[in-house]
Amino acid sequence: MKTVKRTTRKDKKEVLKPPIENRKVGKRKAALKADKNRKKLTKKEKLAKKDPNKPKRPPSAFFVFLEEFRKIYKQQHPNVKAVSAVGKAGGEKWKSMTNEEKAPFEAKAAKRKAAYEKLMTAYNNEQESTDGDDNEEVLDRSKSEINDEDDEESLEEEEVDEDDD
């Protein structure tokens, strides 16, 4: 009688896996995690850098339409409180409208866009005028350096005042 050696699943797995010394363990996962963390930091930095004086972007034609549609929809459906319901109904209505019906909303959106562009040019000119050499010097120095100079100046003024007396 012949004895037949059967291979089990464990044996197959061991054969397929390279030896532990030759394996690169966890490098891909670590690289992915590092990339995700970098993206999160950059998003936070972008939020921190947002200027409150910058003009808001103008609404598209659809959002101009939604402003008016919300009023009408709330009058017809006073019991509906969900924002999503109003948005869905507005989207369906917008899709069913013809180009002629959308034209007044597109014209309003174009006017708002033109006004936004004027505001942005004024804003950009203002930013360029404030970004002079003086601001760059102040930004290069730390707050402690600036405070130290202020303290020294106030001490010198006090000494001068005492000498006069």
CATH of the domain at 120: 1.10.30.10
Helix, coil or strand: residue 8: coil
Q: Is residue 41 part of a domain?
A: no
* Cα dihedral 111, 113, 115, 118 sign: negative
Q: Per residue in 26-41, pLDDT tens?
A: 556 555 565 556 566 5
Q: Is residue 34 part of a domain?
A: no
Angle at the Cα of 143 from the Cα atoms of 140 and 147, rounded to 5 degrees:
120
Predicted local distance difference test score (pLDDT) of residue 137: 46
Predicted local distance difference test score (pLDDT) of residue 71: 92
Predicted local distance difference test score (pLDDT) of residue 109: 96
Reference 94, options 125, 118, 63, 121; nearest CA is: 63
Q: Is residue 151 part of a domain?
A: no
Domain count, the chain: 1
Whether pLDDT at 163 is above 80: no
Q: Per residue in 52-94, pLDDT tens?
A: 889 999 999 999 999 999 999 999 999 988 999 999 999 999 9
Q: Is residue 96 part of a domain?
A: yes
Q: Is residue 13 part of a domain?
A: no
Q: Is residue 46 part of a domain?
A: no
Q: Is residue 40 part of a domain?
A: no
Print the domain residue range for 66.
55-131
Q: Per residue in 88-126, pLDDT tens?
A: 999 999 999 999 999 999 999 999 999 999 999 999 999
Top-confidence residue, 46 or 84: 84
Top-confidence residue, 157 or 77: 77
Q: Is residue 157 part of a domain?
A: no
**Rounded (10°) angle between helices 61-76 and 83-96:** 120
